Amino acid sequence: MGKSRQKCEYVLFSFAHLAAFPMPPRAHPVTRVTTLNPSASPAQFTVADFNRMGDQSGFRYRLPQLDRAVRGDPESLCIAEGRVEKYAIRPGLTLVLSDVRVHQHYEATSMMSPRFSAIVMLQGHAQTRIDRHEDVRLAAHSGVSALYGDTVAMTGTHAAGQRLRSVNLSLSDPDSAGDDQTSEMIWKALRSPALRLRRWQVQGHLLQAIEHLLDCAWDGPLQNMLRDGVAMQLLAHALASLEAGAPVESAVSERDRQLLERVRERLHSAPGEEHTLDDLARLACMSPSTLRAKFQATYQRSVFSWLRERRLEVAREQLAQGCSVQQAAHFVGYRHATNFATAFRERYGIAPSELN
């Protein structure tokens, strides 16, 4: 499977235009368009970068909270920094993975839209709307499916002071979906006047798959297979959301979600530490029982089930990099390699030693 690589001078990473920017057909079925190494220093993007890219690709940007004293020198103002990876899964179907920190509140409106987009927010939040319809809030671990006409604009609003980690799939032509039945599902949804923007709760196993893709150290054919699989899962869940009824609002408040995200981020970044429910509850400013219930409601799995899954993912990456079974087990917090081996086999169906 051919793959070419091209480093761009600057990167599109806005929630709105990642979701809306159309990709032309590619000669190769899988193309990495833009990549910034996660271990390298994050790229910085200024007002001038935004304006230049907007002029070229049809985006309008507004910085409504920008201090007037800075308006005269946009070149020096960093709006955001981070990394983005953009892939053409097949002609007309594009997957974008992004991890950026937003330093200035901004809005982005695109007048060049694909027919269909599916976006999942792993961390952070954004407001989005299509044309003049009511705003839809996209919070961590929620998804949105968006349908467009030829001249309908999508606008995204991004608050400063947050880290945005997201993945989105854009389809410029429903006939590129992969098969006739899937294409017909999208065309049918496009013909419906009632469906434009649909928010949906992302299931835990899809979140885990996306997290693994973002953090995966694999390269070459293995990463291609993983990426294509996640893209197809995302497309399936997004299409299912269009056929389902209106989503039931969660009893978890936005403040609770932010506090729960503290816990999830701690587990994600330090899976090898010895976490207790009491310690995590203090981090979330909740009682242990409240944390247990609200974490389950938000992420569709218990706190320690989520931690166990994260530990096994990290251990699998360590094994793929050449660590021994005992080293991988200790790295992710297992005291005994035998317990780790049992959990690993239950999760992946093979012994960890088979990956060495």
Q: What integer pLDDT is reported at residue 250 of this predicted model?
A: 53
Q: What integer pLDDT is reported at residue 70 of this predicted model?
A: 53
Same domain for 275 and 155? Answer: no
Same domain for 125 and 229? Answer: yes
Q: What integer pLDDT is reported at residue 167 of this predicted model?
A: 92
| Full strand arrangement of the beta sheet holding 154-158 | 59-62, 106-110, 154-158, 126-130, 136-138
Residue 231: phi, psi to the nearest 5?
-60, -45
pLDDT at residue 109 above 50?
yes
Q: What integer pLDDT is reported at residue 111 of this predicted model?
A: 58
Same domain for 177 and 75? Answer: yes
Same domain for 236 and 144? Answer: yes
Residue 148's pLDDT band (boundaries 50, 70, 90)?
A: low
Same domain for 305 and 197? Answer: no
**Distant-in-sequence contacts of 56-60, Cβ < 8 A, 24+ apart:** 57/12, 57/17, 57/21, 57/112, 58/110, 58/111, 58/112, 59/14, 59/16, 59/17, 59/21, 59/108, 59/109, 59/110, 59/111, 59/112, 60/108, 60/109, 60/111
Residue 246: phi, psi to the nearest 5?
-60, 140
For residue 198, give the nearest of 153, 258, 138, 251 by alpha carbon. Answer: 138
Lowest mean pLDDT among 95-109, 112-126, 327-341: 112-126
Residue 277's pLDDT band (boundaries 50, 70, 90)?
A: very high
Percent of the chain with pLDDT over 90: 18
Please state the rounded mean pLDDT for residues 16-35: 36
Same domain for 33 and 178? Answer: yes
Q: What integer pLDDT is reported at residue 279 of this predicted model?
A: 95
Domain that holds residue 343: 254-355
Q: What integer pLDDT is reported at residue 103 of this predicted model?
A: 86
Residue 10's pLDDT band (boundaries 50, 70, 90)?
A: very low
Same domain for 83 and 200? Answer: yes
- Residue 227 Ramachandran class (φ > 0 left, ψ -120 to 50 alpha, else beta): alpha
Residue 352 tokens read as 């960890």
Q: What integer pLDDT is reported at residue 267 of this predicted model?
A: 93
Q: What integer pLDDT is reported at residue 2 of this predicted model?
A: 39
CB 100 within 8 A of CB 92: no
Domain presence at residue 9? no
d(CA 146, CA 154): 9
The helix (H) or strand (E) run that includes residue 164 is strand 162-171
Percent of the chain with pLDDT over 70: 74
Same domain for 190 and 318? Answer: no
Domain presence at residue 306? yes
Q: What is the CATH number of the domain that holds 294?
A: 1.10.10.60
Question: What angle, 0 to 180 degrees and rounded to 10, lies between the N-to-C axes of helices 303-320 and 288-299?
Answer: 60
Residue 54's pLDDT band (boundaries 50, 70, 90)?
A: low
- For residues 17 and 268, the model is more confident at 268
Domain boundary among 243, 276, 306: 243
Please state the rounded mean pLDDT for residues 52-60: 64
Grouping H, G, I as helix, E, B as strand and the rest as coil, residue 223 is: helix
Q: How far is CA 122 from CA 1, 202, 264, in A?
A: 29, 10, 10
Q: What integer pLDDT is reported at residue 19 of this predicted model?
A: 34
Q: What integer pLDDT is reported at residue 21 of this predicted model?
A: 34
CB 31 within 8 A of CB 3: yes
d(CA 46, CA 333): 41
For residue 93, give the nearest of 118, 59, 63, 60 by alpha carbon. Answer: 118
Same domain for 183 and 92? Answer: yes
Same domain for 259 and 238? Answer: no
- Residue 28 Ramachandran class (φ > 0 left, ψ -120 to 50 alpha, else beta): beta
Residue 59's pLDDT band (boundaries 50, 70, 90)?
A: low
C-beta atoms surrounding 33 within 10 Å: 20
| Burial class of residue 296, CB neighbours in 10 A (0-12, 13-18, 19+) | middle
Domain presence at residue 174? yes
pLDDT at residue 119 above 80?
yes
Q: What integer pLDDT is reported at residue 194 of this predicted model?
A: 56
Same domain for 233 and 277? Answer: no
d(CA 336, CA 300): 28
pTM, full prediction: 0.61
Q: What integer pLDDT is reported at residue 183 of this predicted model?
A: 81
Q: What is the CATH number of the domain that holds 199?
A: 2.60.120.10
Domain boundary among 222, 243, 264: 243
Q: What integer pLDDT is reported at residue 193 of this predicted model?
A: 56
Same domain for 167 and 19? Answer: yes
pLDDT tens by residue, 73-85: 656 678 888 887 8
- For residues 250 and 347, the model is more confident at 347
Q: How many domains does the chain have?
A: 2
pLDDT at residue 15 above 50?
no
